[in-house]
Structure 1
Amino acid sequence: MKSRLLTPLAALTAAAPLAFGTAPSAHATSGTALAICPRGSGVTVIVDFGSWDKRSCAPGDPTTGLAALRGAGFTVTMVQRFPGAVCRINGRPSATVDKCVVMPPTTGYWSYWHAVRGGKWTYSTSGPGSYNPKPGTVEGWSYGAGKPPTAPPPA
């Protein structure tokens, strides 16, 4: 488990908490459902909801991890007092779990990860609003205490 002892500035740019909320489905691009991006293009985004994950493709060259997350079809709710931090993805966790006013606890936040295709997850040292994923790479989000997504990056 990674430590979350950060300065207030670092807290805005570090692995920001997130949450999700709909059943798994692929993001549709030009009428075609893409669970992962074609090799060498777009950014594949995997969101780990615990008992299942959702994989989707952010086409093109998203300029930030947050743009990749949204471009892959996920909805995002930001933390009110830390606008650089993500609180919910697709409505999860529910508002009864986290009100999205202050940073979530280290035991229940959306951790942010990066990988090359077929590689291993690396914990992000930058927040999703400041990290620029390269086309062909994989972004991962996992809710909990800072563990990587259970699904490995696709090959």
Structure 2
Amino acid sequence: MSTDTILPPGRRGSGRPGVMLSTRVLGALAALAMLAALVFSPRAAAADTNAAGLVVRHGDGRLVYVYVEFTEPELTGMELLTRSGLATEVTTFSGLGSAVCSLDGEGCPSDDCFCQSDDNPSYYWQYLSLTPDGTWNLQMNGPDNRTVRDGDVDGWSWAADDPQLPAISIDEIARLNGVDGQGAGDGAEPRVLAVEVDPSGQVTTRTAQPEEDDGSMPTTYLAFGALLIAAAGVAMVTVLRRRRSGSQA
């Protein structure tokens, strides 16, 4: 009776199992790379970026234009104001939500929110929203009850009567802040940009600048590339070991 050891199929030193395994591993890595390209693609990230605008008019006529990107489908007016980065003091009224007392350094303290309401003229922070036809509508229900979506523009004016807010679209606010196109994110965190314009129309302050694309590869791609190389190295070592084990059996 023969005592020859019968090798399992594919273990006769032909190397084909190793080739098959190598092909499968490389195929899986290629599929993973394609998936990563879609997930980490700047264009894919930018497609989910929304943007809203904020116009703030001070009592001396200064105007602040804020461009706010966000990834949610919508925000409240209060969330938009908070994300603008402008210093804000608020107070809360039961059943009515938040009232803005001071904004960007002008107004009243939160413990005396309408400190100038008894004056003549009576100044307070008026809250408005811009309609598609360029008309400003006073928001009587406050920022907590306002829904802001992609392309919307909100306005705040420290005034006693006429808010004197300019009709300006989100695209115009974007251009003022150096953004070429609404929601043109680069795959990074949503941007918040703002410019201040004096009463003569001159830009006096630019609080932020959009980052320019220098053509370099994002660190996300570099990190994932290193991960793929490491995974490929481990896979090839495994393949070589199995082939060597098969040739020695």
Normalising by structure 2, we get a TM-score of 0.40
Determine the C-alpha separation between the residues in 2 that align with 1:123 and 1:117: 15
Q: 1:124 to 1:59 in 2, by over 3 A?
A: same
Determine the C-alpha separation between the residues in 2 that align with 1:143 and 1:151: 14
Determine the C-alpha separation between the residues in 2 that align with 1:118 and 1:57: 20
Q: Is the 8 A contact 1:111 1:147 kept in 2?
A: no
Residue from 37, 44, 59 that aligns with 2:53: 44
Q: 1:111 to 1:146 in 2, by over 3 A?
A: farther
Match of 2:68 in 1: 58
Q: Is the 8 A contact 1:85 1:127 kept in 2?
A: yes
Q: Is the 8 A contact 2:89 2:109 kept in 1?
A: no
Residue from 128, 137, 141 that aligns with 1:113: 128
Instruction: Report how far residue 81 of structure 1 moved.
Output: 6.8
- Structure 1 residue matching 2:80: 3-state secondary structure: helix
Match of 1:134 in 2: 149
Match of 1:92 in 2: 106
Determine the C-alpha separation between the residues in 2 that align with 1:80 and 1:134: 24
CA RMSD of aligned residues (A): 2.5
Match of 1:27 in 2: none
Instruction: Report how far residue 142 of structure 1 moved.
Output: 0.3
Instruction: Report how far residue 117 of structure 1 moved.
Output: 5.1
Instruction: Report how far residue 100 of structure 1 moved.
Output: 2.8
Q: Deviations over 1:86-129 (max 9, x none)?
A: 10112213xxxx33323411711100000135611111122111
Q: Is the 8 A contact 1:64 1:132 kept in 2?
A: yes
More strand by share: 1
Determine the C-alpha separation between the residues in 2 that align with 1:135 and 1:146: 29
Q: Does 1:150 align with 2:165?
A: yes
Which consecutive residues of structure 1, in runs of 5 or more, have no partner in the other structure? Answer: 1-39
Q: 1:117 to 1:55 in 2, by over 3 A?
A: farther
Which consecutive residues of structure 2, in runs of 5 or more, have no partner in the other structure? Answer: 1-48, 173-249
Q: Which runs of 4+ in 1 moved over 6 A?
A: 80-83
Q: Deviations over 1:47-100 (max 9, x none)?
A: 00132100011212452111111212212101377772110112213xxxx333
- Structure 2 residue matching 1:151: 3-state secondary structure: coil
Percent identity (aligned)? 21
Q: 1:153 to 1:118 in 2, by over 3 A?
A: farther
Residue from 74, 77, 82 that aligns with 2:86: 74
More helix by share: 2
Q: Is the 8 A contact 1:118 1:153 kept in 2?
A: no
Q: Is the 8 A contact 2:91 2:110 kept in 1?
A: yes
Give the residue type in structure 1 aligned to 2:105: G
Normalising by structure 1, we get a TM-score of 0.61
